[in-house]
């Protein structure tokens, strides 16, 4: 039931944000049509951070309580997070091409930090599969989930200082026009609701997977 509501809510919000992004919001003066990708990229980047925050919280709770539901939550959230980090990187480089003339620029600290983020959470997923026992793999992953998240602000700080502050938080320079802000907010809420839906779905799938493998073991 809860899932049905979320599904329809996400769908409605997505439709609304598509309408706002492509039809309602005016084209930005300097960057032109490409700026519209911003209403996708920012929510996806935000969602990745939210997902990794959940990984961080889930990891701490798993280490303290040692109940597998927290590990499952962290793991599923990390999967979604890495998908959205990848999408952020892709949309980011689509944006970079017309704006800077290259697919990838090291001059944009947010792009660089996102790439590092991607590597950290890739390690999170890898370390689990390398562990000799499943339960230790979960503990190791939790540790990467904690260490990685604590590292994020320092990564952001270092990459920003590295390339100077130059385009600044270009997004919010002089504030967004109200119509742009509205579009962004609707898009962010659409993606947040999508994230919650995906997380619930993935967690229940993972639980089913585990139940199945338990049953399999018992029957053999």
Partner 1 sequence: MNFWSKVLTIAWKDALSEIRTREIIFSVLVFTLLVIVIFNFAFSANQQMIELVAPGILWVTFAFAGVLSLNRSFIMEKEQACLDGLMMCPVSREVIYVGKMLASLLFMLVIEAIALPGFAFLFNLAVLSPQLIAITVSTTIGFVAVGTLFSALAVNTKAREMVLPILFFPITVPIIISAVQASKLALAGEPWTKLSPWLQIIGTFDIIFLAVSFLVFAFIIEE
Partner 2 sequence: MVADNGRPTSSLPSWAIEVQGLTKSFGHQLALTGTDLTVRPGEAIVIFGPNGAGKTTLIKVLATIMKPSAGSVKIDGLNLKDNAEEIRCRLGVVSHQTFLYSNLTAYENLEFYSRMYNVPTRTQRIREVVDMVGMISRLYDRVGTLSRGMQQRLSIARSLIHKPSIMLLDEPETGLDQQATAMLWEALKSEGKEKRTILLTTHNLERGLEVGERLLILAQGKITYDKPKQGLDLSELKEAYQHYTRVKA
The residue ranges that bind partner 2 (CB under 8 A) are: 66, 133-136, 138, 213-214, 217
- Distance (Å, whole) CA 188 – CA 191: 5
Residue 63 near which of partner 1, partner 2, none (CB within 5-8 Å, type-dependent): partner 1
Residue 214 near which of partner 2, partner 1, none (CB within 5-8 Å, type-dependent): partner 2
What DSSP state is assigned to residue 196?
H
164 makes contact with partner 1 (CB under 8 A):
no
Tokens (6 digits) for 133 = 């026992």
Residue 213 near which of partner 1, partner 2, none (CB within 5-8 Å, type-dependent): partner 2
- Distance (Å, whole) CA 108 – CA 166: 9
Residue 147 near which of partner 2, partner 1, none (CB within 5-8 Å, type-dependent): partner 1
Cβ proximity to partner 1: between 25 and 120 the closer is 120
Member of 18, 87, 131, 203 binding partner 1 (CB under 8 A)? 131
Tokens (6 digits) for 52 = 């990794």
Please report the DSSP string for 29-71 in residue order: TTTBGGGGGHHHHHHHHHHHHHHHHHHHHHHHHHHHH--HHHH
Member of 73, 111, 120, 198 binding partner 1 (CB under 8 A)? 120
Tokens (6 digits) for 35 = 């700026």
Which residue is associated with the tokens 């309408």?
19
114 makes contact with partner 1 (CB under 8 A):
no
Rounded to the nearest whole angstrom, what is the least distance from the CB of residue 166 to partner 1 in the complex? 16
Q: Long-range contacts: 155-158, Cβ < 8 Å, 24+?
A: 155/113, 155/116, 155/117, 156/109, 156/113
Element (H, E) at 26: none
- Distance (Å, whole) CA 73 – CA 69: 6
63 makes contact with partner 1 (CB under 8 A):
yes
Residue 161 near which of partner 2, partner 1, none (CB within 5-8 Å, type-dependent): partner 1
Member of 37, 87, 116, 176 binding partner 1 (CB under 8 A)? 116
Q: Which residues bind partner 1 (CB under 8 A)?
A: 63, 116, 119-120, 122-123, 126-127, 130-133, 136, 139-140, 142-144, 146-148, 150-151, 154-155, 157-159, 161-162
């Amino acid at each position: 039931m809860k899932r049905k509501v979320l599904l329809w809510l996400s769908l409605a919000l997505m439709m609304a944000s598509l309408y706002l992004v492509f039809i309602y919001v005016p084209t930005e003066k300097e960057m032109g049509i490409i700026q519209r990708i911003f209403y996708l990229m920012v929510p996806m980047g935000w969602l990745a951070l939210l997902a990794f925050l959940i990984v961080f919280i889930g990891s701490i709770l798993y280490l303290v309580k040692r109940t597998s539901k927290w590990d499952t939550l962290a793991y599923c959230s990390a999967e979604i997070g890495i998908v959205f980090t990848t999408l952020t990187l892709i949309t980011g480089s689509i944006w970079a091409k017309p704006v800077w003339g290259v697919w990838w620029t090291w001059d944009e600290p947010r792009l660089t930090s996102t790439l590092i983020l991607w590597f950290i959470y890739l390690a999170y997923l890898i370390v689990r599969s390398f562990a000799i026992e499943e339960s230790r793999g979960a503990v190791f992953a939790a540790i990467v989930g904690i260490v990685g998240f604590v590292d994020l602000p320092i990564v952001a700080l270092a990459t920003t200082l590295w390339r100077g502050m130059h385009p600044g938080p270009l997004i919010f320079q002089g504030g967004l026009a109200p119509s742009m802000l509205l579009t962004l907010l609707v898009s962010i809420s659409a993606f947040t609701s999508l994230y919650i839906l995906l997380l619930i779905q993935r967690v229940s799938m993972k639980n089913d997977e585990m139940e199945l493998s338990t049953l399999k073991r018992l029957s053999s």
